[in-house]
Amino acid sequence: MTGRTQRFRLTGRLQFTDRLRRWYGEGPLQLLVLLASFALAGYAGVRLLDGDWLLIAVWFVGAALVHDLLFVPAYALADRALRAAAGRGERGEWVNFVRVPAFLSGLLLLVWFPLITGQVERYESSTGLPAGVYPVRWLIVTAVLFAGAALCRVLQVRRTRRSARKARPEVVH
């Protein structure tokens, strides 16, 4: 293969990647990972709920509607209130240290909602655990998440103050 042919192939690949980025917004690897995740989710949905397509469709549409009409406005209001309380400047840096544990705690609540609220009795026979342990464990996990975020914030502030002290010139009298 000549150098010219090799450059043409490389240029052709770059043009394809550039066109894909303009059309899709990301590179080909991200698109492949996204398509693989959709394929895996579809396979899991078909295997787990074999034969009941109406229930699957109702569940997906209902989940999308509840998320878009109920949860997204709630997220936006909570985030706006959090940012308003934080203000601007350095004080606002702690916002992400509240967002992350709140998100993870909310996600756990959403996934395990029937068990946390005690609405499902059949799991007791499968797990051997009484239904009352789930709310307490969720609260403990939530407390640990927020404590971990607070510890990370304290360490970040200490590191920032140390580097600011080192960068400050010493005043000689």
Instruction: Note the pLDDT tens digit of each residue in 70-125.
Output: 989 998 998 888 888 887 766 667 888 988 999 999 999 988 888 888 777 667 77
Residue 30's pLDDT is: 86
Residue 69's pLDDT is: 94
Residue 93 CB-half CA count within 13 A: 10
- Please provide the average confidence, as pLDDT, over all residues in the chain: 82
Q: What is the DSSP letter of 88?
A: S
Q: Which two tokens stand for residue 155?
A: 């360490």
| pTM given for the model | 0.59
